Amino acid sequence: MSLVGKKAPDFKAVAVVNGNEFVEDFDLARFRGKKVVFFFYPLDFTFVCPTEILAFQDKIAEFEKRNTVVVGCSIDSQFSHWAWLNTPKDKGGIQGVKYPLVADLDKTISMKYGVLAGRYKTDENGNTNFEGEPVALRGLFLIDEEGIVQHELINNLGLGRSVKEVLRMIDALTHLQKYGEVCPADWEEGQEALKPTFEGVSEYLSKK
């Protein structure tokens, strides 16, 4: 079930911030008043994941300009996060990443956000087993200043995301919030948006 339009699920967990600091009871509520890009990735020390994580870090100034915080999460422990964050890039690490990485070792956060690749199932004898892959899919949630999910995207494990598209969605949300105008297909900041009426749509399309 989609979380769009709903309050982002609450959680408290350990996170690694600034690449080397453990923060207990980390949550997203501390960022009220800012937009949050909360994204999940499958595992530390893998292949597609570092390309995404480093791409977010490379554009972190663009997110900050938009009053937006980036937070990552996987089912790894905080110790695994710390080790990966302190491994040089040429050794397969993500050294230099400063935004928070949340540890979801018990998979409860992934389940709350609906991105766990498998599920726990209890058989007729009361035994609980996990079916599928016990990792997070590539879920991404754009959460507004009030803690409401405004956009979500969930990719399968092998499909990397576009950081440029995430920035575009932040710009679109900001434009909607500021002007009340809705953003058409492939809209980018600086382009004309449209009034949410049939007349507004007709006027927009007549200019194309």
Look at residue 157 in the predicted model and tell me its pLDDT: 95
Q: What is the pLDDT of residues 162-171, one digit of tens each?
A: 999 999 999 9
Task: Kindly list the averaged pLDDT for each block of 10 residues, start to end, along the chain of length 208.
Answer: 96 97 98 98 96 98 98 98 97 97 97 91 84 92 98 97 98 97 93 85 76
Q: How far apart are CA 172 and CA 188, in angstroms?
A: 7
Q: pTM score, two decimals?
A: 0.93
Whether 49 is catalytic: yes
Q: What is the pLDDT of residue 66?
A: 98
Distance between CA atoms of residues 156 and 76, nearest Å: 18
- What DSSP designation does 134 have? S
141: how many CB neighbours lie within 10 A of its CB?
24
Domain segments of the chain as ranges: 13-159, 162-208
What's residue 126's pLDDT?
Answer: 85
The model's pLDDT over 62-110, given as tens digits with 9 standing for 90+, comes to 999 999 999 999 999 999 999 999 999 999 999 999 999 999 999 999 9
Place of tokens 């500021």: 178
Single out the residue of 48, 20, 8, 30 nearest to residue 147, CA to CA.
Answer: 8
Say which of 8, 16, 49, 109 is annotated catalytic: 49
Identify the CATH homologous superfamily for domain 13-159. Glutaredoxin (3.40.30.10)
What's the pLDDT score for residue 113?
Answer: 98
Report the DSSP pairing between strands 119-122 and 101-103: unpaired
3-state secondary structure of 22: strand
